[in-house]
Amino acid sequence: MEPLKRVLISRTALAHNFRLCRRQAGGAGIIALVKADAYGHGMLECARLFAKLGACGLAVAEAVEGIELRAAGLDLPIYIFAGVAPQAVKAIVAHRLTPIVSDVSTLALFAREAEGCGQPLAVHLKVDVGMGRQGALPADFLHLVREALAMPTIRIDGLMAHLPKGDERSGTHSRQVLQAFNEVCAAARQLIAYPCGLHLANSGGLFYVAGASLDQVRPGIALYGYYPDGRSGRQAAPEPQLQPAMQYSATILQVRRLPSGHTLGYDCTYTTTRPTTIAVVPVGYADGYLRCLSNRAQMLVSGQRAQVLGRISMNLSVVDVSDIAGVQAGDEAVLLGRQGGDTIDADELAAWMGTINYEVLCLIGRLNYREYTE
């Protein structure tokens, strides 16, 4: 039995985006971000595809994600980006994951756990050049490097930082961050006698900050077809452009005719002003279609826009199809993606929600049945 709602993920679009990122990166390696279930697109499916396309590594938030990737047979480097809790150290070492380390005490935990492994544990050291969340401050970073070098069971495979304003197309702030990162890494590399990669650029850094690609880049949202600064980024981007990989649709359950003056939904937030034909769609906030879209969002029905009417509930929404001929139960309503000659993308949904395209994709992709197309 087919589900009433589904998310379609295009492998063709994912591959196109990966190749566009690789071209933009020049010779830098691609560390593909597949955290948050690949931004709602499916971690295992996306990780396998990006590995096949030549990614030099995969990045997740937590060790449990990395362990799942190892269990699926993925053997390339897997980076743990959200930080390391002490109780995760043993599993990270056992599964050959690569932690991002910001302090000496965590380094010491890994050094002790790595004893008897037969080879040093690869780590990446993080410097804070303005993000403020994690990383050693520049004044303390060389001390962290020296401590790591003094531990025989630790190998520094990379040095990294985050761009706080990587989504700004002007790149003024990011150029200052890049300069600070390059300066501290130049001093660190004087201490490290073996090759050590540098990476700073996220999707915004990759596309908007000249010189930020360095040795590796870390695209996330770009791999899934969106620009980090939303619709303005797409409008300014040259061809070929990134291609959204996700489409979200649902089967209309019922079509009803209501008289003028009839209220709709919880709290009666909408009252019809004319005889109105409505379509009932089995999508609500439990599916990532949030209440804030009530009386605001639109769906595509028969290739035309249909206005959401009334309060979105947990499992149902209602749209106005009065001016769309021939709509009936069983027809498709598209909430995200293309139908006919029109498109509702994650940037438009994000504007209605008052958020960013990242959140839209994560919400919808992780809360619904997914299928993959070639």
The string of pLDDT tens digits covering residues 343-371 is 999 999 999 999 999 999 999 999 999 99
Last residue of a domain, one of 185, 213, 236: 236
Q: Which of 214, 236, 258 is the last residue of a domain?
A: 236
pLDDT digits (tens, 9 = 90+) for 112-152: 999 988 889 999 999 999 888 999 999 999 999 999 999 99
Handedness of CA 27, 100, 221, 169 (dihedral sign): negative
- Mean pLDDT to the nearest integer, 101-109: 96
Domain assignment present for residue 241? The answer is no
Instruction: Starting at the earlier edge strand, list the strands of the sheet with 317-320.
Output: 254-258, 276-281, 317-320
Residue 337 pLDDT: 98
| 160 has pLDDT over 80 | yes
CB 129 within 8 A of CB 184: yes
Helices vs. strands in the chain: H and E counts, helices first: 12, 20
- Domain match, 264 and 195 both: no
Residue 130: what pLDDT?
Answer: 87
Whether 47 and 190 map to the same domain: the answer is: yes
Instruction: Judge if 180 and 258 occupy the same domain.
Output: no
Among 274, 234, 278, which residue's Cα sits nearest to residue 253?
278
Residue ending a domain, among 236, 271, 289, is: 236
Any domain includes 25: yes
Q: Long-range CB contacts (< 8 A, 24+ apart) of 318-324?
A: 318/264, 318/265, 318/278, 318/279, 318/280, 318/281, 319/278, 319/279, 319/281, 320/276, 320/277, 320/278, 321/255, 321/277, 321/278, 321/279, 322/274, 322/275, 322/276, 322/277
In this prediction, residue 166 carries a pLDDT of 84
Alpha-helix residue ranges (DSSP H) falling in the chain: 11-25, 35-39, 43-53, 63-71, 89-94, 104-113, 138-149, 172-191, 203-208, 231-236, 346-353, 357-366
Smallest Cα–Cα separation from 248: which of 317, 285, 299? 299
Domain co-membership, 103 together with 212: yes
In a domain, 211, yes or no: yes
On whether both 220 and 269 belong to a single domain, the answer is no
Domain shared by 280 and 201, yes or no: no
149 CB neighbour count, 10 Å cutoff: 16
What is the DSSP code (8-state) at residue 120?
P
The predicted structure's pLDDT at residue 117:
86
Rounded Cα distance, 323 and 346, in Å: 25
Q: Tell whether 214 and 92 lie within a shared domain.
A: yes
What would the mean pLDDT of 281-291 be, rounded to a whole number? 97
Within a domain: 84: yes
pLDDT tens, 52-80?
A: 999 999 999 999 999 999 999 999 999 99
Strands 57-60 and 78-80: parallel
The rounded distance, in Å, linking the Cα atoms of 82 and 59 is: 10
| Token output for 160 | 């990294």
Q: Which domain covers residue 268, as residue numbers?
A: 246-373
Environment class of 133 (CB within 10 Å of its CB; exposed 0-12, middle 13-18, buried 19+): exposed
Inside any domain, residue 107: yes
Q: State how far the Cα of 286 lies from the Cα of 297, in Å rounded to an integer.
A: 16
- 270: which 2 tokens? 């909408």
How high is the pLDDT of residue 116? 82
Point out the residues that are catalytic. Answer: 35, 266
**Together in a domain, 44 and 187:** yes
Regarding whether 119 and 170 lie in a shared domain, the answer is: yes
Q: Are residues 269 and 232 in the same domain?
A: no
Total number of domains constituting the chain: 2
What is the chain's Cα-based Rg?
Answer: 24
Mean pLDDT for the stretch of residues 293-297: 98
Does 280 fall in a domain? yes
Which run of H or E residues covers position 342? strand 342-344
Domain identity same for 265 and 215:
no
CATH classification of the domain holding 21: 3.20.20.10
Q: Does the residue 278 lie in any domain?
A: yes
Same domain? For 367 and 345 the reply is yes
Asked whether residue 5 is assigned to any structural domain, the reply reads no
Could you give the CA distance from residue 312 to residue 89 in angstroms, rounded to a whole number? 43
